[in-house]
Chains A and B, each alone.
Chain A
Amino acid sequence: MATFSIIYFVLLIAGTATAAYLKNTAALLLLFTLLMVSFLAALLGGTNVLVGFTIAAGLLAAAAAVSYSFREALIVILPPNGAKLMRTAPLTASFGLLVVLIYIIAAIFAPVIAPFGESEVVAGAFALPDDQLLLGGDQLGRDLFSRLIYGARNTVGVAIVTTSLAFLLGTVAGLVAATMGGWVDQLLGRVVDVLLAIPQLIFALLLLTIFGAGIIELTVVIAVLYSPLVFRLTRAVAGNIVVMDYIEAARLRGESTWYLVSREVLPNITAPLSAEFGLRFCFVFLAISALSFLGLGIQPPTADWGSMVRETASLISFGLVTPLIPAGAIALLTVAVNFVVDWMLQLSSGLKE
């Protein structure tokens, strides 16, 4: 292990010196900080920490390389318009797109990819990983890898349906409030104030006590609780559109409210709303996973990442990473969607701070 530390520090110091010689400030700063942190970490935690650093740096580099190749591939494959867009995309955005794409493929082709069925018992309880069971078995002896793949379909599917429902509620109410104004606007505004006055997770727990835990109840409850923020955004952006002259002109022409909303207002607010959809999806997805983790969301035997974490949680005390895999799958998707949303926001606002 001593050789590893020596090689590690030699490489790092050489890198720092090269950066300093080439006068590359950013790289120098990064490498120098890493060097200092490594010294401290090596003193406190020994070689293991350095190995951890190396693995983390390697993973980061691999992710960057893969996202770079993915972006270049997209530029070649896509039609001119899309290629132009991708050329300006930061690496984080292409990483996000790649991850989302992988999740979509896993969700659609789950039965083809997964070697076993969703709730098929194929081994002993908590069987160790081998050639057949890539990640081992869960508490009932079901294949964890297959359940992970099916989880992409169930967990993400439920989250997308819920987000869409929340969006339907929020945008319709927001558009109604913005175009009608008056007491309707006031009433909806106050209802939203009350809904936002309690933390959403607590409110969800309260409502799930009454309705019981089931997929339909979960979808409706979460959708209602997460629609107020969509409502506020829609009302704010639509409020700016409604006062425009062309809306006034349409009103004078005698157009109906439906025409106003669908033809004049909606096309003008799609850009901020689509970025909001991504952001809202993250929150809804995390909320559903949290509830499933607490045993109050998606119910067994449906494969779902939140429940999988809870079911395998006891393995962590034996030093196994099993519960971290579904939890990591949740985290990775949220990070990826966030990256893409960041990029979309940057595109639509044209701002770079």
Chain B
Amino acid sequence: MSGLAGLIVKRLALGLLTLLIISIIIFGAMEALPGDTAQQILGQGATPEALAALREELNLNDPLPVRYLAWFTDALQGEFGVSVANQRPVADQLGPRFSNTLFLAAFAAAIAVPFAITLGVLAALFRNSIFDRVANAGALVSISSPEFFLGYVLILVLAVQNQIFPPIASVQPGMDFWARVEMSFLPALTMALVVMAYMMRMTRAAIINLLASPYIEMARLKGVPQGRVIVRHALPNALAPIINVVALNLAYLITGVVLVEVVFVYPGVGQLLVDSVSKQDGPVVQACCLIFAATFILFNLIADVGSIVTNPRLRHPK
């Protein structure tokens, strides 16, 4: 088992290294913005003295590596500086929005994962049947549609024509759990539909791959009933690909959240990111990008580690 622990530690180190490089890129990108932070806060008409004083106050005169280190260590402690647009600390704006986004992503995952895996396994078992074809066509359409198309279709049908759910997900801080679930049902459903399609296709491919392996054929040949082949022989080995599929798609969910939040005016990190990009609000964009990147890397890492743990063959690379 020491080999396994070593491999996992190696992956973790690799993930941290990636995060470090990404943070340098994100920091460097904001440095490339025209005009420094002091200029942006005070505007074009500022006097040189005021600019110099603010630069001194924000430590903008320090060399680049020093400022990067200061920014990164602060970021690790949850301090992302002050927004250029409204002078409020970024962390104060980000905190509640981040928990909103996590709630939405978790909600979408809770809908998508069970459905997608069940459908994927069924489509693989009854492959080339009418059920498989309908599921596949549905998945293709859902993958091909932009998130905002699905979102507006759902709003039109479930919020405007039949008033079942609210069209705008204005989640408030003090809301109780069920009110929150009702408010964010449509955005969660939109995300779930897109992710479900990917997850279903990947699960189906993984299971078909598995059913073609020799030991399944052996089990069939020696006369094991179909149900038992699936439950005893196929499913335990299907765990590895399924864990992988789920983790990869949760990482995808993080990207999809941006568009869905804008469609439903959901107060999350994605909406904040889009607003800040059009305002060229450097510190906020930095913080949002770092959070998204870190989550994305984390889920990819989980997918990696999950497949190493569940598939012994990956532990001994040839």
Do the two chains belong together in a single complex? yes
Chain A interface residues (CB < 8 Å from chain B): 26, 29-30, 33, 45, 193-194, 197-203, 205-210, 282, 286, 289-290, 293-296, 306, 309, 313, 316-319, 321, 323-324, 327-328, 330-331, 334-335, 338-339, 353
A338 close to B140 (CB less than 8 A): yes
Is A316 within 8 A of B147, CB to CB? no
Q: Report B's interface with A, CB cutoff 8 A.
A: 18, 21-22, 25-26, 29-30, 32-33, 127-131, 134, 140-141, 143-149, 152-153, 155-156, 160-162, 167, 208, 251-252, 254-255, 258-259, 262-263, 273-274, 276-278, 280, 282, 285, 288-289, 292-293, 296-297, 300
Q: A202-B258, A202-B273, A324-B152 are in contact. Are A26 and B130 (CB under 8 A)?
A: yes
Residues of A within 8 A of B128 (CB): 353
CA distance A335 to B21 in the complex (A): 37
Q: Assess whether A293 is in contact with B293, with CB atoms less than 8 Å apart.
A: no
- The smallest C-beta distance from A175 to any residue of chain B, in angstroms, reads 26
Q: In chain A, what residue has the closest Cβ to B33?
A: A210
Contact A199 B296 (CB under 8 A): yes
Inter-chain contact A338/B149, CB cutoff 8 Å: no
Given the known A-B contacts A26-B129, A198-B289, A202-B255, are A207 and B144 also in contact in the complex, defined by CB atoms under 8 Å? no
Asked whether B145 lies within 8 Å of A194 as measured between CB atoms, the reply is: no
Q: How many whole Å from B253's CB to the nearest CB in chain A?
A: 10
B277 touches A209 (CB 8 A): yes
Q: Can you pick out 7 interface pairs between chain A and chain B where the beta carbons lie within 8 Å of each other?
A: A29-B131, A45-B162, A197-B293, A202-B273, A209-B30, A309-B152, A327-B152
Partner of A290, one of B33, B148, B162, B280: B148
Central interface residue in B258, B276, B300, by most chain A CB within 10 Å: B258
Contact check: which of B156, B255, B276 meets A199 at CB < 8 Å? B255
A321 to B282, CA, bound (A): 37
Q: Bound state CA distance, A286 and B258, in angstroms?
A: 14
Contact across chains for A286 and B146 when beta carbons are under 8 A apart: yes
Does B259 lie within 8 Å of A205, measured CB to CB? no
User: Most chain-A Cβ atoms within 10 A of its Cβ — which of B18, B149, B161, B288?
Assistant: B149
Q: Is the CB of B278 within 8 A of A296?
A: yes
| Distance A64 CA – B30 CA, assembled complex (angstroms) | 52
Judge whether B289 and A206 touch: CB under 8 Å. yes
Q: Which residues of A contact B143 (CB under 8 A)?
A: 338
Bound-complex Cα distance A200 to B280 (A):
19
Are B145 and A334 interface neighbours, CB within 8 A? yes
Q: B255 touching A201 by the CB < 8 A rule?
A: yes
Q: How many A-B residue pairs have CB under 8 A?
A: 145
Of all A-B residue pairs in the complex, the 7 with the closest CB atoms, nearest first, are A334-B144, A327-B149, A199-B255, A331-B145, A335-B144, A202-B292, A198-B293
- With a cutoff of 8 Å between Cβ atoms, the chain B residues found around residue A200 in the complex are 255
Inside 8 A of B29's CB, which chain A residues have their CB?
206-207, 209-210
Contact B22 A194 (CB under 8 A): yes
A294 vs B251: C-alpha distance when bound (angstroms) = 21
- Known: A193-B18, A293-B259, A335-B140; 9 extra A-B contacts, CB below 8 A, are A29-B130, A194-B25, A199-B251, A206-B289, A209-B285, A296-B274, A316-B167, A317-B155, A319-B161
Cα distance, A327 to B25, chains bound together (Å): 33
Distance of B134 from chain A, by nearest CB (Å): 8
Distance (Å) between the CB of A6 and the closest chain B CB?
A: 23
Chain A hits for B282, CB < 8 A: 209
Cβ contacts under 8 Å, B280 to chain A: 209
Most buried by A among B146, B208, B300: B146
The answer to whether A317 and B167 have CB atoms under 8 Å apart is: yes
A199-B255, A290-B147, A293-B146 known; A321+B274 contact, CB < 8 A: no
Contact B278 A202 (CB under 8 A): no
In the complex, are the beta carbons of A202 and B146 less than 8 A apart?
no
Residue ID in chain B nearest A333 by CB atoms: B144
* Cβ contacts under 8 Å, A331 to chain B: 141, 144-146, 149
* Residue from B32, B148, B251, B278 whose CB has the most chain A CB atoms within 10 Å: B148
Would you give the shortest CB distance from B123 to chain A, in whole angstroms? Answer: 12
> How many angstroms from the CA of A201 to the CA of B259 in the assembled complex?
10
User: Are A289 and B274 CB-contacts (below 8 A) given A202-B258, A209-B280, A338-B140?
Assistant: no
- CB–CB B149/A198 < 8 A: no
Most buried by B among A193, A206, A290: A206
CA A353 – CA B127 in complex, angstroms? 10
Query: Does the CB pair A290–B141 fall under 8 Å?
Result: no
A284 to chain B, nearest CB (A): 13
A248 to B48 alpha-carbon distance, docked (Å): 66
Q: Which residue of B lies closest to A213 (CB)?
A: B278
Candidates A210, A293, A317, A328; contact of B32 at CB < 8 Å: A210
Please give the distance in Å from A57's CB to the nearest CB on chain B.
Answer: 12
Contacts of B167 in A (CB 8 A): 316-317
The residue on B at minimum CB distance from A28 is B130
Contacts of B292 in A (CB 8 A): 198-199, 202
**Contact between B22 and A328, CB atoms less than 8 A apart:** no
B285 touches A197 (CB 8 A): no
Q: How far is the CA of A290 from the CA of B145 in the complex (A)?
A: 11
Q: B289 and A330: CB pair below 8 A?
A: no
